[in-house]
């Protein structure tokens, strides 16, 4: 899945016929093992940076222009942007994620003395729940930090990227995606406290088992609006609960608070959203313990319970994800669940090593028969966060 660096450089030179020095960067995607839809509720999440992501080749310019080109969207051609006009433009498509970083830096008073050419190529499937947009945002944050000597930390870059996603792009996400893409550690997942940004590395594999990422390949249409709706519902519930509980985030509540919370909220939809949030927080803690104990069966059970909660209480799965997860379970996975925002995108399954090919084949056929869509599968390793790639 790793892109050949020489090929990337040659592709850059085909688009930008300049003679300037250029550098190559890589920003991973991410998979969240457990702890879904709670990063904006101050919860603990357990993601890892993965070995598919976004490559960027960058060359400095002598003017204040930015030229962007994506090999993933060749029909959009070369997008030319001026430092004096960094406002969002629908016709700029994917480049708005990159432009938003520059806009936010300028708004914060950072000095951007010159522009750059950026060639982008990603091997992350878009709208998959593997954070292709956050991967691009953190990539451009890292590039700008290097080119302009901005002295940002990796967490600063993650927060900058989240701010762009929330404000510039209008997607009210939490900090998880950007934080793991900036701070990932090879062969590890990070237990993240999204209320404090504290991160604890953990070995994130089970001996004898493989984690398969399964892509529904279903083209989501309402993800952003539904995602923002869930954020709003949690915010409404929090305001009601805060009249009786001295809390800042929903995830400060415990499972034994649920009976009292149900009486406070009265609205069954808001209660189900809160019930998912609180129980998912506990599942994340239990999953960390299962990982430390190398208890794959318990971890699998927690994956199953997480998916059931996301399906029934949070209502973010849908036919395609539910079909994929059920197919994986029927094929012998010890656990499976949606990963990411939901409404399509990807799921993960924990499978015995010697059953991987059979499970993939059976899931493929079951899912195709039910939906008429061919799923895709990815076997990934866990990687370091965004970085410059050393090359000759």
CA dist., res. 303 & res. 107, Å (int): 41
Q: Is position 71 within any domain?
A: yes
Q: Give Cα separations from 126 to 130, 249, 331 (angstroms).
A: 8, 31, 27
| Confidence (pLDDT) at 390 | 80
Residue 299: pLDDT above 80?
A: yes
**Catalytic residues, which ones?**
177
Residue of higher predicted confidence among 356 and 203: 356
Q: Is position 236 within any domain?
A: no
Residue of higher predicted confidence among 176 and 139: 139
Count of CA atoms in the C-beta half-sphere (13 A) of 67: 16
Kind plus residue range of the DSSP H or E element containing 80: strand 79-82
What domain count does the chain have? 1
Q: What percent of the chain has pLDDT over 70?
A: 95
Q: Is position 32 within any domain?
A: yes
pLDDT band at 165 (very low <50, low <70, confident <90, very high): very high
Q: Is position 198 within any domain?
A: yes
For the residues 278-304, what does the mean pLDDT come to? 96
C-beta of residue 42 within 8 angstroms of C-beta of residue 241: no
Quote the domain boundaries for residue 145. Answer: 5-204+382-389
pTM, whole model, 2 decimals?
A: 0.91
Give 236-265 pLDDT, tens digit per residue.
Answer: 999 999 999 999 999 999 999 999 999 999
Give 84-133 pLDDT, tens digit per residue.
Answer: 999 999 999 999 999 999 999 999 999 999 999 999 999 887 666 566 88
Q: Is position 168 within any domain?
A: yes
Q: Is position 230 within any domain?
A: no
CATH of the domain at 100: 3.30.230.10
Q: Is position 9 within any domain?
A: yes
Q: Is position 58 within any domain?
A: yes
Count of CA atoms in the C-beta half-sphere (13 A) of 390: 0
């Amino acid at each position: 899945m790793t892109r050949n660096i020489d090929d990337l450089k040659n592709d850059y030179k085909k688009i930008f016929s300049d003679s300037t020095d250029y550098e190559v960067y890589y920003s991973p995607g991410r998979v969240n093992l457990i702890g879904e839809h709670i990063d904006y509720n101050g919860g603990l999440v357990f993601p890892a940076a993965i070995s598919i992501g976004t490559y960027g080749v960058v060359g400095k310019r002598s003017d204040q222009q930015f030229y962007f080109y994506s090999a993933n969207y060749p029909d959009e051609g070369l997008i030319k942007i001026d430092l004096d006009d960094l406002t969002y433009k629908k016709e700029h498509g994917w480049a708005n994620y990159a432009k938003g970083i520059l806009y936010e830096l300028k708004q914060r008073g950072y000095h951007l003395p010159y522009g750059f050419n950026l060639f982008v190529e990603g091997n992350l499937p878009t709208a998959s729940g593997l954070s292709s947009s956050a991967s691009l945002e953190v990539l451009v944050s890292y590039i700008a930090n290097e080119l302009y000597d901005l002295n940002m930390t990796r967490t600063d870059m993650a927060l900058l990227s989240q701010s762009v996603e929330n404000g510039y792009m209008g997607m009210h996400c939490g900090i998880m995606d950007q934080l793991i893409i900036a701070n990932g550690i090879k062969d590890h997942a990070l237990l993240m406290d999204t209320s404090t940004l504290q991160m604890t590395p953990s070995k994130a594999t089970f001996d004898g088992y493989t984690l398969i990422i399964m892509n529904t390949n279903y083209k989501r249409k309402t993800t952003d609006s539904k995602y923002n709706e869930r954020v709003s519902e949690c915010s409404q519930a929090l305001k009601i609960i805060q009249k009786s509980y001295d809390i800042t985030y929903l995830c400060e509540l415990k499972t034994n608070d649920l009976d009292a919370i149900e009486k406070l909220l009265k609205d069954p939809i808001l209660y189900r959203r809160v019930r998912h949030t609180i129980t998912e927080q506990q599942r994340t803690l239990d999953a960390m313990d299962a990982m430390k104990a190398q208890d794959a069966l318990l971890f699998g059970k927690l994956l199953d319970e997480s998916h059931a909660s996301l399906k029934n209480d949070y209502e973010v799965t849908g036919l395609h994800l539910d079909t994929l997860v059920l197919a994986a379970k029927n094929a012998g996975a010890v656990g499976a669940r949606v990963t990411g925002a939901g409404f399509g995108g990807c799921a993960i399954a924990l499978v015995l090593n010697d059953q991987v090919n059979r499970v993939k084949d059976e899931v493929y056929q079951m899912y195709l028969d039910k939906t008429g869509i061919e799923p895709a599968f990815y076997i990934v390793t866990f990687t370091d966060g965004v970085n410059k790639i050393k090359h000759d």
